[in-house]
């Protein structure tokens, strides 16, 4: 069967949140306007990658280089100058706390922003894994950076299990630990890997891809929960019908 779909975790999340939203973004390719939070996260992720690479090769990073590096990676997230500066200061501080805390751990880092493109049946799974650290031999910890608020991490976390599937079935590694690193509070939450959660994620991926390949884009049961924040709510007939 010819390859028909490239599916990343982000695309899958779009589809699960609301298939119609996926349709606007990836099928009709309507312009997508990321929020200031998303832009802030992208700036910080780029800086984290650079800082991690330097710590990994040199064992440390001095404050001046870190500041310069952050400056280079920063692009404005808001037209409001004060808000922009406030967020920039926050980002710089978060980066500093991160590097101070992770000097030792980064020595075990195997991948930083690891890109992947792997065939699963008739689809291709693609994307980036923020970080993979070696625990011992082939046993690894998969880490995803979060710039939002602290939340509970469950063993069936979809994003982390998506990446665990890549590590287990395509990179010849044994995922043992899944972690979310909350940069706002400089805290890492971890759970042990459960292989049945990876298998369930694989089934979900195949299920979602089947629906996408059959052009099923009907809004899910409670799309309205997501409508107020959806950047397509002004053009979406389902939402317009509902509010009128």
Nearer to ligand SF4, 32 or 154 (CB): 32
Between strands 109-120 and 174-182, the pairing is unpaired
Question: How big is the chain, counted in residues?
Answer: 244
Nearer to ligand SF4, 135 or 235 (CB): 235
Nearer to ligand SF4, 182 or 239 (CB): 239
Nearer to ligand SF4, 11 or 20 (CB): 20
162-172 in b/e form (b: 16+ CB < 10 A) is: bbbbbbbeebe
Nearer to ligand SF4, 64 or 229 (CB): 229
Q: Does 14 bind ligand SF4 (CB under 6 A)?
A: no
Task: Give the residue from 61, 128, 56, 51 showing the smallest Cα distance to 91.
Answer: 51
Q: Find the binder of ligand SF4 among 11, 20, 168, 202 (CB under 6 A).
A: 20
- The rounded distance, in Å, linking the Cα atoms of 102 and 160 is 20
Q: Find the binder of ligand SF4 among 16, 21, 64, 81 (CB under 6 A).
A: 21
Q: Find the binder of ligand SF4 among 7, 12, 18, 95 (CB under 6 A).
A: 18
Contacts to ligand SF4 from residues 24-83, by CB under 6 A: 24
SS3 string of 212-238? HHCCCCCCCCCHHHCHHHCCCCCCCHH
3-state DSSP assignment of residue 166: helix
Task: Give the residue from 160, 157, 165 showing the smallest Cα distance to 203.
Answer: 165
Using alpha carbons only, how large is the chain's radius of gyration in Å?
Answer: 19
Q: Does 239 bind ligand SF4 (CB under 6 A)?
A: yes
Smallest distance from ligand SF4 to CB 222, Å: 10
Nearer to ligand SF4, 81 or 222 (CB): 222
Smallest distance from ligand SF4 to CB 208, Å: 16
Per DSSP, which regions of 27-173 are E strands?
Answer: 109-120, 123-136, 139-146
The residue whose two tokens read 């990073």 is 61
Task: Write the binding mask 166 to 205 for ligand SF4: x where contact by CB under 6 A, - elsewhere.
Answer: ----------------------------------------
């Amino acid at each position: 069967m010819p390859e028909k779909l490239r599916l990343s975790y982000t695309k899958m999340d779009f589809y699960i949140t609301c298939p119609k939203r996926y349709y606007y973004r990836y099928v009709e390719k309507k312009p997508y306007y990321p929020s200031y939070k998303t832009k802030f996260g992208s700036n910080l992720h780029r800086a984290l990658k650079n800082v991690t690479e330097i710590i990994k090769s040199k064992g440390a990073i001095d404050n001046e280089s870190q500041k310069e590096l952050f400056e280079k990676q920063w692009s404005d997230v808001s037209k409001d100058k004060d808000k922009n500066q406030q967020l920039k200061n926050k980002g710089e501080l978060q980066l500093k706390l991160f590097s101070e805390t992770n000097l030792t751990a980064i020595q075990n880092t195997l991948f930083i922003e690891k890109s992947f493109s792997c065939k699963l049946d008739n689809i291709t799974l693609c994307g980036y894994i923020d970080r993979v650290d070696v625990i011992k031999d082939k046993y690894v910890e998969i880490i995803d950076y979060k710039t939002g608020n602290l939340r509970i991490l469950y063993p069936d976390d979809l994003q982390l299990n998506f990446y665990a599937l890549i590590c287990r079935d395509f990179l010849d590694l044994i995922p043992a630990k899944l972690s979310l690193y909350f940069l706002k509070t400089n805290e890492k939450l971890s759970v042990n890997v459960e292989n049945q959660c990876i298998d369930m994620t694989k089934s979900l991926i195949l299920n979602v891809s089947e629906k996408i390949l059959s052009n099923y884009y009907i809004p899910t049961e409670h799309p309205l929960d997501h409508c107020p924040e959806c950047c397509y709510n002004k053009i979406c007939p389902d939402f317009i019908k509902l509010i009128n």
